[in-house]
Amino acid sequence: MNMGDLRLQHPDKLFLGGQWVEPSTDRTLSIVHPANGETVLKVADAREDDIDRAILSARKAFDEGPWPRLTPAERAEYLLRFADAIDVRYKAIALAQTIQIGAPLGPGMHIAAGLAAEPRRTASFAATFPFREVRPAIGGSATIWREAVGVVAAIVPWNLPSHLGLIKMCPALLAGCTLVVKPSPEAPLDMLLIAEAASEAGFPKGVISIMPADRDIGDRLVRDPRIDKVSFTGSTAAGRHIGAVCMDRMARVSLELGGKSAAIVLDDIPIEKVVPSLVSMSTILNGQACMGLTRVLVSKKRRAELTEALGAAYARLKVGDPFDLSTRIGPLATERQRDRVEYYMGLGIRQGARLVTGGQRPIEFNRGYFIQPTVFGDVTSDMTIAREEIFGPVLSVIGYDDVDDAIRIANDSVYGLNGAVYTEDADQVSAIARRLRTGTVAQNGMGPQPGLPFGGFRQSGIGREGSIDALHLFTEIKAVYAID
Ligand code: NAD
């Protein structure tokens, strides 16, 4: 597959209220392929008038349209059709990911092939989520309804838009919400394919708009009183701001933000069993994954051995053309992202971390936003590279004295998204996991687990997506009392 296989039906139009419409201006978003820095495509850019029309359309569909009044089972039928239409496009979606952020195509295909599972799984919650339950009440009974929260603005980052968009859209749709989705200006292509799938599924008018735009338009969405709920995935800095704006007008808000997740390696597990998993869990999407395990905590007696093994494994990773199926690390998504990663690498060295491998742009590429996979040893918890989210293939190895010390270091973070315990002793995993202040913990760093709740403690966010629990984010509780 190559770039020519991406056949967008309407790159010059916006998906507004379920229809492809002409944008209000001729402004476009340039899609830059990060492996060569060249603009490969231009797509319509949603501006003020467009977003206003999308909000109006979603509002009307929610207040007057059939969608919120269908039963969950009826809405689930649409989700199943949506899933089929996504399945047909999964290769193009993977391609879009590679074009827009340089994610290697091989793993990208795997991720894209699993996307349709999200609407299918969500459809099954129509039968299991307590949309309606009856409870006893004084002198009678109460019916507890979980009703759609209203018009939802879903704001999506560039690093995995179709997945991150779908885990918002599917529960919102099953709950009966209507949606204005805003993909990021850097990476709208896969969401335009999702829009094609939504069009094919035939959702009623106004239910879904997908409007690629810059952050100023995101800000408009967040401030608009016609939006009942904001579901945001992105940086903690933007999330903090969005949360404050929403609170000011009491809009519902859920936030999926950054991470600095720790892997605690216990002494019982052989180093050779740990290394492949740590490498893959820290380099997902070229290291641009919120859930990445970027801090490796190991006992001081095994620190040197593990650091060298990780350094050797990182040095062997094939950096290159993301379309080449043997490539493990493609370019970073944007020039800005590469600058940021280089800044942190320099800071690591200046603050006294030991550069084991990497640390530079690879000399074999004279264009594109490539960076060498990098391992730092002798990192301490107070160094900036151990505290801030770098969002690149950069790993920090930190030594601990004993398990209590490891847990203390793991929790010494403003974030609390993901975590792992590497050991062959499942009891140890349970015991340590209960003491970690993170949303997920996996034995031996298993990868993403579709269908389980995902989200963060502390500044990693508010709320859980990706499971039946996500329906709570898109519903309001109403209690109706009746006298016997
Ligand atoms: P970002 O915060 O810059 O942008 C995210 C989205 O929000 C984009 O669509 C952007 O246009 C929009 N936006 C930015 N500022 C806004 C504002 N003030 N008002 C309204 N909209 C605004 O993040 P990014 O650089 O695109 O994504 C990377 C970040 O996302 C990382 O921090 C990563 O950890 C986080 N992330 C978190 C999860 C999770 O599930 N917790 C998943 C993926 C990515």
153-184: pLDDT as tens digits: 999 999 999 999 999 999 999 999 999 999 99
Alpha carbons 14 and 54: distance in angstroms, whole number? 10
Q: Give the distance (Å) from ligand 1 centre to CA of residue 315.
A: 30
Nearest-CA residue for atom 19 of ligand 1: 219
Catalytic residues: 256, 290
Q: State yes or no: pLDDT of 1 exceeds 80.
A: no
pLDDT band at 2 (very low <50, low <70, confident <90, very high): confident
Arithmetic mean of pLDDT, 351-358: 98
Alpha carbons 256 and 236: distance in angstroms, whole number? 8
- In the chain, residues under CATH classification 3.40.309.10 are 261-450
Nearest-CA residue for atom 39 of ligand 1: 256
Pocket-testing residue among 215, 224, 284, ligand 1, by greatest number of atoms within 8 A of Cβ: 215
Cβ 382 vs Cβ 413: under 8 Å: no
Q: Give the distance (Å) from ligand 1 centre to CA of residue 257.
A: 7
Q: State yes or no: pLDDT of 343 exceeds 90.
A: yes
Q: Give the distance (Å) from ligand 1 centre to CA of residue 157.
A: 4
pLDDT band at 448 (very low <50, low <70, confident <90, very high): confident
CA distances from 214 to 183, 250, 257, 439 (A): 8, 24, 18, 29
Arithmetic mean of pLDDT, 253-282: 98
Question: Given phi > 0 = left and psi -120 to 50 = alpha, else beta, which region is 216?
Answer: alpha
**C-alpha torsion angle, residues 37, 43, 46, 47 (rounded to 10):** 70
From first CA to last CA, the distance across the chain in angstroms is 66
The per-type count for the chain, helices as H runs and strands as E runs, is 15, 20
CATH topology of domain 3-257+462-483: Aldehyde Dehydrogenase; Chain A, domain 1 (3.40.605)
What is the pLDDT at residue 433? 97
Summarize pLDDT for 177-215 with one digit per residue, the tens.
999 999 999 999 999 999 999 999 999 999 999 999 999
Summarize pLDDT for 73-110 with one digit per residue, the tens.
999 999 999 999 999 999 999 999 999 999 999 999 99
As a whole number, the mean pLDDT across the chain is 97
Alpha carbons 421 and 445: distance in angstroms, whole number? 7
Arithmetic mean of pLDDT, 371-383: 98
Q: State yes or no: pLDDT of 449 exceeds 90.
A: no
Tell me which residues have their CB closer than 6 angstroms to ligand 1: 155-159, 164, 182, 184, 214-215, 218-219, 222, 233-235, 238, 241-242, 256-259, 290, 389, 391, 417, 456, 461
Pocket-testing residue among 97, 184, 236, 293, ligand 1, by greatest number of atoms within 8 A of Cβ: 184
CATH topology of domain 261-450: Aldehyde Dehydrogenase; Chain A, domain 2 (3.40.309)
Side by side, the strands of the sheet bearing 229-233 are 19-21, 14-16, 208-210, 178-182, 151-155, 229-233, 252-256, 461-462
What is the pLDDT at residue 303? 98
User: Tokens 């952020």 belong to which residue?
Assistant: 101
Alpha carbons 323 and 311: distance in angstroms, whole number? 25
Percent of the chain with pLDDT over 70: 100
Residue type at 377? Answer: G
Q: Give the distance (Å) from ligand 1 centre to CA of residue 469.
A: 22
- DSSP structure class, residue 471: G
Q: State yes or no: pLDDT of 447 exceeds 90.
A: no
Q: State yes or no: pLDDT of 278 exceeds 80.
A: yes
Token readout for 29 is: 């978003």
In the three-class reduction of DSSP (H, G, I as helix; E, B as strand; rest coil), residue 51 is classed as: helix
Q: State yes or no: pLDDT of 4 exceeds 90.
A: no
What is the pLDDT at residue 446? 79
Angle at 130 between CA 124 and CA 135, to 5 degrees: 160
CA distances from 407 to 207, 375, 470 (A): 46, 22, 29
Atom of ligand 1 nearest to the CA of 460: 41
Angle at 340 between CA 33 and CA 459, to 5 degrees: 110
Query: pTM for this structure?
Result: 0.97
- In the chain, residues under CATH classification 3.40.605.10 are 3-257+462-483
What is the pLDDT at residue 344? 98
What is the pLDDT at residue 157? 98
